């Protein structure tokens, strides 16, 4: 390539500047929503009291929608125009955001997931529309730089989204952790959750007004898809609507199959099944099948889809678990404070995006991407092995390494595709599925590794029965519930008004617990149900509770009273064959302070070790950049005679 010639070609020709900057607002919008949604993972984990792999359902719904609707978006563009894609994308976003209101009223995680899917479906259509639209606005020679320039506004939106999440969502989360919430009175917990979900809704619903302004702005704009051939002037409206309707029907059929099927599917499996519909549409329609076959025969393209899958996977996974990483290496830090490191990550991402975009005038984008992938691998190793004072900054450094990868892979893979560019863009947007696959995989790694560490700990202190109980039901950690009750005893009136109230409430609960052996009938039931975590006990469980209380020896002092109080989760659930575990806990009480320290170490080790997964993702991007570092340049040279 002639670098001097490229540097004189404007990134955005004058005639395209207005629509280009109109599109920039959409780049900022989906960046804002992407990163604000990342913060829903730690928020929902606390609000709905779910573990890492379950809370990753937010990302499965969000990025799964990208994968399912990307081909639909491509067909929408092929049959109609870029303008239609922008309008429908913004419309779906507004519908999904407004669905947050009934989800908050019903305190339903499932409704939130459906709302997130609709919202993200709109963003999928927007992104599928805007990326090739930007590529078409000028010379092929500056297409990668133009897309990088447009994408530079995406992290600005991302940074805005993080601030909105920090001050509207995370700052309004109650300090009580998951185990403490499980021990709360239902009325107290309901009040806390209602307030937290209200603040979740505020930024999402508020942004609907801004999206509506953008929507009306695009309504008045007359799109011009002259640079990329479309069917707009060659096919009757009925034919175009028929094709679009068939695509929608093929998307709905797998959804209805899952809804009425007797089989149970994981969320990732549900997304993969729903992708069958749009892929089937491509294979059914001869013209789309022909385009698909052309794309499949281009190694630069289909390898680019694979590289994009792993890149998006590493980006979403790293940003999703950044707050959890910070909270694990600094025990006691709350989500709002931990999000500061997330903000630093996005600032570095923005700065590196701007720098690398400028450097692309002089250097091969693929070579730069490979170099940054190597740096990303080194940062991941630092995140795993270095002391926490340094590792948190290598974690931040990962974002700088990711900065140029999405638009660079996108531009290299789509360069020179011609009439297949819209379908090709859909394939690269479908690759965003990586965020829905790799993120929950990291979450499962964290959960499973934590449980393995817990089991190993109890075996190391010669408590095999407790180890077996933890391994048998990791989602309902008996030791974790006991630890939450023990923490209640640590509240000190000297630490402020809130702690004084907590200490008074604990003392009242302790006195109620100590009175239980002397109570019978309704008096016992009323007192037992007033204790933390016991409000929903059924008659059979109350009988188990009363029988197990008789196994307790008379407490010798306050410390033993607190130890027995912390046994409430075991006293109310263990019976029959499990009674042996209770006997073991009574005869040899756990050292809760020691276990609390050990538990913090378990989580930190699990989160650190999960960063081996991003190393694999960076390696895939490195390989793509290395093998296709010159292919796009050769392709460009081949096209010059034809353009002359």
The predicted pLDDT at position 631 comes to: 56
- 263, 161: one domain: yes
216 phi and psi angles, rounded to 5 deg: -65, -30
Give a yes or no: residue 594 inside a domain: no
pLDDT band at 8 (very low <50, low <70, confident <90, very high): low
- 338, 430: one domain: yes
What integer best gives the mean pLDDT of the chain? 82
Asked if the model's pLDDT at residue 5 lies above 60, the reply is no
Name the residue with higher pLDDT: 643 or 518.
518
The predicted pLDDT at position 261 comes to: 74
The answer for residues whose C-beta is within 8 angstroms of residue 39's C-beta and 6 or more apart is 161, 162, 165, 166, 169, 170, 323, 335, 339, 342
CA distances from 588 to 10, 265, 488, 567, 582 (A): 76, 42, 21, 12, 10
Report the distance separating Cα 279 and Cα 276, nearest Å: 5
Asked if the model's pLDDT at residue 644 lies above 50, the reply is no
- 492, 423: one domain: no
- 247, 389: one domain: yes
E strand or H helix at 191: helix 186-219
Three-class secondary structure of residue 537 per DSSP:
coil
- The winner for highest mean pLDDT among 43-57, 95-109, 141-155, 534-548 is 95-109
Q: How far is CA 276 from the centre of its chain?
A: 23
* pLDDT, average across residues 147-170: 83
pLDDT (tens digit, 9 = 90+) per residue, 478-529? 777 788 788 878 777 777 777 787 788 888 888 998 998 888 888 888 888 8
Give a yes or no: residue 8 inside a domain: no
Report the distance separating Cα 95 and Cα 97, nearest Å: 6
Give a yes or no: residue 92 inside a domain: yes
Of the candidates 567, 589, 611, which is a domain's last residue?
589
Number of domains in the chain: 2
Report the distance separating Cα 577 and Cα 574, nearest Å: 8
pLDDT band at 636 (very low <50, low <70, confident <90, very high): very low
* pLDDT, average across residues 298-307: 89
Three-class secondary structure of residue 29 per DSSP:
helix
pLDDT band at 223 (very low <50, low <70, confident <90, very high): low
pTM of the predicted protein model? 0.76
CB-count burial class (<10 Å; 0-12, 13-18, 19+) for 249: exposed
- 614, 546: one domain: no
Give a yes or no: residue 4 inside a domain: no
Lowest-pLDDT choice from 155-159, 204-208, 222-226: 222-226
Residue with tokens 């002092």: 557
pLDDT band at 438 (very low <50, low <70, confident <90, very high): very high
pLDDT band at 326 (very low <50, low <70, confident <90, very high): very high
- 38, 167: one domain: yes
Give a yes or no: residue 595 inside a domain: no
The predicted pLDDT at position 29 comes to: 86
The predicted pLDDT at position 313 comes to: 92
Report the distance separating Cα 593 and Cα 576, nearest Å: 29
Report the distance separating Cα 29 and Cα 10, nearest Å: 25
- 368, 485: one domain: no
pLDDT (tens digit, 9 = 90+) per residue, 614-627? 999 999 999 998 88
* Percent of the chain residues topping a pLDDT of 70: 91
- The winner for highest mean pLDDT among 45-49, 57-61, 375-379, 543-547 is 375-379
The predicted pLDDT at position 643 comes to: 37
CB-count burial class (<10 Å; 0-12, 13-18, 19+) for 26: buried
Phi/psi region, residue 332 (left: phi>0; alpha: psi -120 to 50; beta: rest), is left
Report the distance separating Cα 419 and Cα 102, nearest Å: 43
Asked if the model's pLDDT at residue 128 lies above 90, the reply is no
Asked if the model's pLDDT at residue 265 lies above 50, the reply is yes
Asked if the model's pLDDT at residue 225 lies above 60, the reply is no
Helices (H) and strands (E) in the chain, counts: 35, 0
Residue 325 and residue 333 in contact, taking contact as beta carbons nearer than 8 Å: no
The predicted pLDDT at position 311 comes to: 95
**22 is written with which tokens?**
């109109």
* pLDDT, average across residues 315-322: 90
- Look at residues 226, 235, 270 and name the one whose alpha carbon lies nearest to residue 68: 270
Total count of residues recorded for the chain: 644
Give a yes or no: residue 419 inside a domain: yes
Q: How far is CA 609 from the centre of its chain?
A: 19
Lowest-pLDDT choice from 40-54, 225-239, 314-328: 225-239
Q: How far is CA 622 from the centre of its chain?
A: 24
The predicted pLDDT at position 224 comes to: 56
Residue 506 and residue 558 in contact, taking contact as beta carbons nearer than 8 Å: no
Report the distance separating Cα 465 and Cα 582, nearest Å: 9
The predicted pLDDT at position 476 comes to: 64
Asked if the model's pLDDT at residue 641 lies above 50, the reply is no
The predicted pLDDT at position 638 comes to: 42
- 391, 523: one domain: no
* pLDDT, average across residues 521-542: 84
Report the distance separating Cα 95 and Cα 89, nearest Å: 10
- Look at residues 537, 539, 531, 542 and name the one whose alpha carbon lies nearest to residue 564: 531
- 418, 559: one domain: no
- 492, 634: one domain: no
DSSP per residue, 288-352: HHHHHHHHHT-HHHHHHHHHHHHHHHHHHHHHHTHHHHHHHHSTT--HHHHHHHHHHHHHHHHHH
Give a yes or no: residue 68 inside a domain: yes
Contacts of 596-599 with C-beta under 8 Å, sequence gap 24+, read 596/483, 596/486, 596/487, 598/457, 599/454, 599/479, 599/480, 599/483
The predicted pLDDT at position 635 comes to: 47
Of the candidates 543, 560, 589, which is a domain's last residue?
589
pLDDT (tens digit, 9 = 90+) per residue, 76-96? 877 777 778 888 999 999 999
Asked if the model's pLDDT at residue 473 lies above 70, the reply is no
* Percent of the chain residues topping a pLDDT of 90: 18
* pLDDT, average across residues 256-267: 75
* pLDDT, average across residues 434-462: 86
The single-letter DSSP state of residue 270 is H
pLDDT (tens digit, 9 = 90+) per residue, 17-40? 777 877 888 888 888 888 888 888
Asked if the model's pLDDT at residue 310 lies above 90, the reply is yes
Residue with tokens 């004072």: 389
Q: How many CA atoms lie within 13 A of 468 on its CB side?
A: 10
Report the distance separating Cα 117 and Cα 420, nearest Å: 27
* pLDDT, average across residues 286-302: 84
Using alpha carbons only, what angle is made at residue 114 by residues 108 and 120, rounded to the nearest 5 degrees?
130
Give a yes or no: residue 453 inside a domain: no
Report the distance separating Cα 463 and Cα 545, nearest Å: 23
pLDDT band at 266 (very low <50, low <70, confident <90, very high): confident
Give the CATH number, domain containing residue 292.
Answer: 1.20.1250.20
Residue 178 and residue 46 in contact, taking contact as beta carbons nearer than 8 Å: yes
Residue 527 and residue 536 in contact, taking contact as beta carbons nearer than 8 Å: no
Asked if the model's pLDDT at residue 545 lies above 80, the reply is yes
Domain boundaries, position 339: 18-447+601-643
Asked if the model's pLDDT at residue 580 lies above 70, the reply is yes
- 224, 274: one domain: yes
pLDDT band at 318 (very low <50, low <70, confident <90, very high): very high
Lowest-pLDDT choice from 381-385, 435-439, 459-463: 459-463
End-to-end CA distance of the chain: 15
The predicted pLDDT at position 618 comes to: 96
- 403, 471: one domain: no
Q: How many CB atoms are located within 10 Å of the residue 472 CB?
A: 11
């Amino acid at each position: 390539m002639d670098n001097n010639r490229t540097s004189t070609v404007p990134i955005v020709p004058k005639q395209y500047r207005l629509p280009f900057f109109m599109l920039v607002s959409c780049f900022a919008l989906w960046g804002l929503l992407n990163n604000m949604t990342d913060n829903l993972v730690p928020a929902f984990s606390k609000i709905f009291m779910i573990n890492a792999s379950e809370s990753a359902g937010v990302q499965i719904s969000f990025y799964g929608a990208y994968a399912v609707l990307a081909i639909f978006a491509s067909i929408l563009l092929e049959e109609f125009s870029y303008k239609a894609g922008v309008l429908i994308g913004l419309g779906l976003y507004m519908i999904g955001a407004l669905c947050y209101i009934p989800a908050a009223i019903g305190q339903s995680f499932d409704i939130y997931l459906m709302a997130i899917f609709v919202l993200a479906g709109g963003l999928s259509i927007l992104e599928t529309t805007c990326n090739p639209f930007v590529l078409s606005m000028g010379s092929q020679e500056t297409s990668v730089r133009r897309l990088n320039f447009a994408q530079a506004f995406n992290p600005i939106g991302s940074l805005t989204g993080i601030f909105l999440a920090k001050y509207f969502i995370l700052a309004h989360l109650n300090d009580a952790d998951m185990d403490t919430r499980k021990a709360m009175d239902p009325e107290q917990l309901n009040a806390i959750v209602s307030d937290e979900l209200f603040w979740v809704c505020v930024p999402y619903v508020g942004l609907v007004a801004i999206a509506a302004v953008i929507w009306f702005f695009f309504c008045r704009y007359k799109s011009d898809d002259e640079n990329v051939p479309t069917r707009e002037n060659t096919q009757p409206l009925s034919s175009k609507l028929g094709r679009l309707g068939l695509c929608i029907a093929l998307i709905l059929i797998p959804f209805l199959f899952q809804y009425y099927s007797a089989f149970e599917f994981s969320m990732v499996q549900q997304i993969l099944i729903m992708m069958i519909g749009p892929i089937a549409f491509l294979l059914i329609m001869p013209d789309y099948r022909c385009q698909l076959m052309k794309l499949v025969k281009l190694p630069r393209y289909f390898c680019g889809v694979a590289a994009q899958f792993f890149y998006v996977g590493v980006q979403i996974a790293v940003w999703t678990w950044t707050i959890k990483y910070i909270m694990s290496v600094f025990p006691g830090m709350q989500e709002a404070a931990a999000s500061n490191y997330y903000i630093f990550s996005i600032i570095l991402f923005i700065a590196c995006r701007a720098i690398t975009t400028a450097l692309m005038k002089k250097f091969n984008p693929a070579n730069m991407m490979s170099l940054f992938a190597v740096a990303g691998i080194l940062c991941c190793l630092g995140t795993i092995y270095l002391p926490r004072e340094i590792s948190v900054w290598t974690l931040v450094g990962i974002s700088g390494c990711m900065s140029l990868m999405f638009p660079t892979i996108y531009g290299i893979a789509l360069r020179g595709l011609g009439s297949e560019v819209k379908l090709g863009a859909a394939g690269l947007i479908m690759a965003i599925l990586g965020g829905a696959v790799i993120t929950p995989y990291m979450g499962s790694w964290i959960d499973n590794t934590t449980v393995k560490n817990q089991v190993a700990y109890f075996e190391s202190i010669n408590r095999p029965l407790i180890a077996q109980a933890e391994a048998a039901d990791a989602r309902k950690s008996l030791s974790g519930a006991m630890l939450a009750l023990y923490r209640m005893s640590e509240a000190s009136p000297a630490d402020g008004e809130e702690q004084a109230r907590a200490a008074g409430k604990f003392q009242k609960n302790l006195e109620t617990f100590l009175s239980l052996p002397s109570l019978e009938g309704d008096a016992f039931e009323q007192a037992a149900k007033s204790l933390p975590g016991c409000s929903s006990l059924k008659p059979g469980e109350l009988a188990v509770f009363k029988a197990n209380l008789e196994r307790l020896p008379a407490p010798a002092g306050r410390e033993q009273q607190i130890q027995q109080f912390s046994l409430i989760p075991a006293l109310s659930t263990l019976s029959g064959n499990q009674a042996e575990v209770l006997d073991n806990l009574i005869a040899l009480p756990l050292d809760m302070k020691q276990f609390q320290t050990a538990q913090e170490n378990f989580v930190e080790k699990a989160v650190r070790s999960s960063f081996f997964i991003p190393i694999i993702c960076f390696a895939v991007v490195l390989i793509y950049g290395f093998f296709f570092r010159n292919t796009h340049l050769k392709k460009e040279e081949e096209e010059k005679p034809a353009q002359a």
